[in-house]
Amino acid sequence: MRLYATMLTILLLAARGAAGEEALVVAGTGGQAPLAELQGDGTIGGLEADLIGALCDRLARTCTMTVAPSWGDLVSGLRGGRYAIGYGGLSQGTLAGLGIAASTTYLPLRAQWAVIAHLDGAADPLAQEDTRIGVIRGTPHAHWLEARLPQERLLRFADEEEMFLSLHTGTVDAVFGDGLLLWRDLLQGPLGKGVVLRGPGQAVEQDGLVLALRDDAAFGEVVDGALAAMAWDGTLADLVARHLPGLPLP
């Protein structure tokens, strides 16, 4: 019943849009590849740009895409209602801290294991008693492991490059961290050759990627309904697979 009600709401909004509602102004910030990256022609491309396009089609609304000149402009534009939707690698936690409305999570942020592909076994690295695991010192991921593993099985690193190198030299059997960052910083770099991520991952930080919304509860419900429908029919999964190949889905 809830899905039917949501779809009815979307259809009603579409009918209103067809009757001449103003275009939704959507603003993004670049510099967040592969989610939102400024292109040579001055537009923003990436996963979230394609997500916005699919969302506007789903809502049957015309969307005017613009690039926010600064982070401050994006925030003030959302608060003042100049922008209906904002994007650029925004997390639920970030927007909650700013008091800005957010959509439901379209991609939960999960911690993943990175392992050498040809050494990858079927067992969870956490459950293997002799597995040595690398993690960045002082992070939520380090604290999560410290509460679950004997200290001698943990190797804490000061920077990512040193940790990634340790995976290839065999100093550690797996590294553990934010899956999206591991995908970007490890798998897409020279040290990512022969490395795979294992999922679906652990909810260490209880956070996720969202779209920022203007302060309009009814509009938020419609956007959330559209995102739910896109998750249900596989649209979101297809977008993630296209832009983030190799990132395990939750």
Q: The pTM is what?
A: 0.84
- pLDDT at position 123: 62
Number of neighbours of residue 114 by Cβ within 10 angstroms: 26
User: 2-106+210-243: what fold?
Assistant: D-Maltodextrin-Binding Protein; domain 2 (3.40.190)
- For domain 110-206, give the CATH number: 3.40.190.10
Tokens 């919304």 -> residue: 213
**Domain segments of the chain as ranges:** 2-106+210-243, 110-206
- pLDDT at position 122: 52
- 36 residue type, one letter: A
**8, 67 Cβ separation under 8 angstroms:** no
Mean of pLDDT over the chain: 89
Q: What is the pLDDT of residues 205-234, one digit of tens each?
A: 889 999 999 999 999 999 999 999 999 999
In the chain, % helix, strand, coil (3-state, to 5) comes to: 45, 25, 30
Identical fold for domains 2-106+210-243 and 110-206, yes or no, is yes
- pLDDT at position 125: 79
**215, 81 Cβ separation under 8 angstroms:** yes
- pLDDT at position 119: 66
